[in-house]
Amino acid sequence: MKLCVLPAVMALLFIACSSSSSSSSKTNANFASKTNTSPSKASTSSSKKEKEETLYIPIDLPDICQNIDFNANKDMRKECGVKSINQQAYNNSPKQRYLVEPRQASLVKTGDKIEILFPNTDPLALNSSLLRGVEFDDSKRLSKIENTMDYKEFFNERRERLKLFKLKINSDTKPIVENEVCFKVPEIKGDTRVTSTSTAPMKMELLTCEAFNKFVKKYAK
């Protein structure tokens, strides 16, 4: 009788152990499943945060920094003075785009105000109506604005030298709008010189393109 009971008890113990092992395996599998989804969620959240990141980009960038995508090249941010900011601060930060001509000239938009910057000159405010269809969002920052420059230099009847130029600036919108903006280069009198160390940059003068055309027609040869 005792010999018959012993195999029965061993069989029950085997079944109990198998059930316990199966339950433990399921629990471990469920735990692993939950822990495996966590990094994926974290990665998605991190990716979303990175995508929504907004940056402050200075308008006085050195040449080496001007053509860098700072979202893709984060290691260059500190060297170029670029930093992450919130959306409200971004809306009020300057957005800059370079022109093809003249070299290193650019348009800067801050809020609703637009200025044009020429090398060694003070910023000159422009009416937004002069730049129809020109866009300043991040996707356009690295692309120069297509434009041409028509420079004229001549003397009037009083032997005064006039230096004038017209910029034709294409819009980013389609169909393309050709905006015309005209300027007069101020006369430098006496021994005044504009250099890289000058404390008083030249102030470019805005000129109507109607006046530009009249001067050219009257004095240009």
pLDDT digits (tens, 9 = 90+) for 117-165: 999 899 999 999 999 999 998 889 889 999 999 999 999 999 999 999 9
109 lies in the same domain as 57: no
Average pLDDT, the chain: 79
Q: Establish if 9 belongs to a structural domain.
A: no
pLDDT higher than threshold 50 for residue 27: no
pLDDT score for 190: 56
**Dist CA 167 CA 151 (whole Å):** 9
216 and 131: one domain?
Answer: yes
User: Which comes out higher in pLDDT, residue 126 or 63?
Assistant: 126
Report the share of the chain in percent with pLDDT over 90. Answer: 55
Residues 72 and 149 in one domain: no
The residue with tokens 């907004």 is 54
- Model pLDDT, residue 90: 83
The total number of structural domains in the chain stands at: 2
Do 115 and 53 fall into the same domain? Answer: no
Residue 53 confidence class, pLDDT cut points 50, 70, 90: confident
Report pLDDT for 127.
95
170 and 142 together in one domain: yes
Per-residue pLDDT, 133: 96
Residues 89 and 99 in one domain: no
CB atoms within 10 A of CB 20: 10
| Within-domain flag for 17 | no
Counting beta carbons within 10 angstroms of the beta carbon of residue 95, is it exposed (0 to 12), middle (13 to 18) or buried (19 or more)?
buried
Q: In this structure, are 71 and 160 located in the same domain?
A: no
- pLDDT tens for 65-83 read 999 999 899 999 999 999 9
CA geometry: angle at 200 spanning 103 and 194, to 5°?
50
For residues 36-41, average pLDDT: 45
Please indicate, yes or no, whether residues 110 and 215 belong to a single structural domain of this protein: yes
Domain that includes residue 64, residue range? 47-93
Same domain, 64 and 156: no
In a domain, 58, yes or no: yes
Identify whether residues 76 and 149 lie together within a single domain: no
- Structural element, H or E, at residue 15: helix 2-51
Q: Are residues 118 and 175 in the same domain?
A: yes
